[in-house]
Structure 1
Amino acid sequence: MQYLVLAVLVGCVALLLAVLALRFGWRLRWLLGWLKGNVLLALLAAAVMLGLAAWDLQNFTEIEPRAATVGTLSFNKVGNQQYEAVLTGPQGNETVRIAGDLWELEVEVLRWHGLPGALGLVDGYRLHRLLGRYLALEQQHDSSANGRELLPNLHSTPPWRDLWAWIDNIEAHRLLEADAFEVRFIPLTDGAQFSLELGPTGLTPVPLNPAATAAMKRFN
C-alpha cells in the first residue's frame, strides 16, 4: 500500500510538471531550437574527431601479404648500460637513447573486419615504442619508478588524439580492431644491426652482422 501511494503522489507531481511545461511553452519553438543546436554541435564534434582520425591515419603503413623488410635497427654503446639506437622506418630515421640490458620494440596494428575487409582494405601498422629493460630486478624497479624505461612514442602522437588508443578502448571490434606486435627481451649489444621484417602475423628481427647474430643466440 505504501508504494502504491508513493507511486500515485509521484505520478501526480509528474503530471503537474507536464501541465506547467505545456502551459508555458506549448508551441515548443525553444525545443526545436535546442534540438537543432545540439545536432549542429554533434555534427561539428564528429567532424573534428574524423579530422583527427584522418591526421593520425597517415602515420600507418600497409602490411604486406608476405613478410617484408620495414626498417633497420642498430645500437651503439655510449656508456654503462646506455645505448644509442638508430631506427629507420617508413617515417624516416629516429635516434633514441635507451638504458638497460635488453631491448623491446612495439608496433601498433590496425586490422579491418567485416565490410571494410571484404572491400579490400589492408591491415596497417606503425612503429610505436622502443625501450630498454634491465636484467637486475632492483635496477628495473628503480627505472620504472623514475619513469626512465618508457621513451616517447616513435610516432609522436599524443594520447588524447591517438586513433589506435581510441579503437583499443572500444570493446566491440566489428569493423576495425587495434592489435599489436612485440619483439621482447633481446640482449643489447654494441654495434648490433638488425633488419626488421613484418608480416600479417608479427614482427621479426633479422641479424645483419656478427654482433646481432651473437645477440640473437643469447636470446634463443
Structure 2
Amino acid sequence: MQFLGLALIAAVVAALLVLLALRQGWRMNWLGGWLRGNLLLALLALAAVVGLAAWDVQHFRVIESKVTAGTLTFTQVAPQHYEAVISGPEGEQKVSLAGDLWEIEVQVLRWQGLASVIGLEDGYRLHRLLGRYLALEQQRDASSGLSANLNPTPAWRDVWVWADRLSGRSLVQADAFEVRFVPLVDGARFSLDIGPTGLTPEPLNAQAKAAMKRFQ
C-alpha cells in the first residue's frame, strides 16, 4: 500500500503540473519560436559537421590501378634512431623514428551502395609511420619515438574514424593498408606504391634493396 500511495501522490502532483503548464501557456505562442530556434541550432550544428568533414576529406587521394603514394627515405642520426622524410602529393614531411624496423599505416575510404553506383572512387591517406625494436625489452620500455603521425586530423573529427565506428551503416566504409616489419637501413629510399588491394614498398636504391632482402 505504501508504494501505491506514493504513486497516487506523484500522479496527482504530475496532473497539477500539467494543468499549471496548460494554464500558463495554453496559447502556445512560445512554441513556434522555440521550435524555430532549435531547428536553426540543429542546422548550424549540421553545417559545422559537414564543413569539418569536407575539410578532412580533401586530404584523401583517389586509389587508381597503381599509383605512387609518395617516397620514404631514412637517414640514421644515432644508433637505432633515424630521420624519415616522406614526400607525397601534399609536400615533404620530416619525422623522427626509433627502432630496428619500420611500419606504415594508410587510411582507406571505400564507397558503398548508391555512392559506389554513381561512380565515386575509393580514396587513401597516409596515416602513421611507426618504429619497432627487435628486442622485446626495448619495445616494452620504449615511451617515445615509435610513432609519427602523418595525418594531423584529431580523432574526434577524423572522417575515417567515424566511418570505422559506423561500419556497415553508412555509404562509406573504413579500410586500412599496412606495411610491417621492414628493417631500418641508413640511406634506404622507397617508393610507396598503392593500388586497390594494398600498399607495396618498392626499393629505389641499393640500401633499400638490402633492407627488402632482410624483410623477405
Structure 1 and Structure 2 fold alike (TM over 0.5): yes
Corresponding residue for residue 146 of structure 2: 149
**RMSD of aligned C-alpha atoms?**
1.8
Q: Secondary structure at the match of 1:120?
A: coil
Stretches of structure 1 lacking an aligned partner (at least 5 in a row) = none
CA-CA distance at 1:137 after TM superposition: 1.4
Structure 1 Cα separation of the partners of residues 138 and 28 of structure 2: 67
Are 1:136 and 2:132 an aligned pair?
no
| Stretch of structure 1 that moved more, 5-14 or 207-216 | 5-14
Would the alpha carbon gap of residues 54 and 88 (structure 1) be closer, same or farther in structure 2, given more than 3 Å must change?
Answer: same
Unaligned ranges ≥5, structure 2: none
Q: Match of 1:68?
A: 67
Paired position in structure 1 for 2:192: 196
Answer with 82-91 or 2-11: which moved more. 2-11
Residue 26 to residue 3, structure 1, CA distance change in 2 (3 Å): same
Q: Which residue of 1 aligns with 2:48?
A: 48
Aligned to 1:183: 179
Aligned with residue 214 of structure 1, among 202, 210, 215 = 210
CA deviation map 1:68-107 (0-9, x unaligned): 2221111111111111111111211112111100001111
Q: Distance in 1 between matches of 2:167 and 2:11?
A: 39
Instruction: Identify if the C-alpha distance between structure 1 residues 27 and 106 changes in structure 2 by more than 3 Å, giving closer, same or farther.
Output: same
Give the whole-Å Cα distance in 1 for the aligned partners of 2:82 and 2:9. Answer: 74
Query: What residue is the counterpart of 2:201 in the other structure?
Result: 205
Aligned to 2:33: 33
Cα shift at 1:199: 0.8
Identity %: 62
SS of equivalent residue, structure 1 residue 75? strand
Q: Distance in 2 between matches of 1:13 and 1:78?
A: 76
Q: Give the superposition deviation at 1:149.
A: 1.6
1:114-125 equivalences under 5 Å are 114-125=113-124
Deviation at 1:109, TM superposition (A): 0.9
Asked whether the equivalents of residues 105 and 129 of structure 2 are also in contact (C-alpha less than 8 Å), the reply is yes
Deviation at 1:168, TM superposition (A): 2.2
Shift of 1:147: 3.5
TM-score normalised by length of structure 2 = 0.91
Amino acid corresponding to residue 57 of structure 1 in structure 2? V
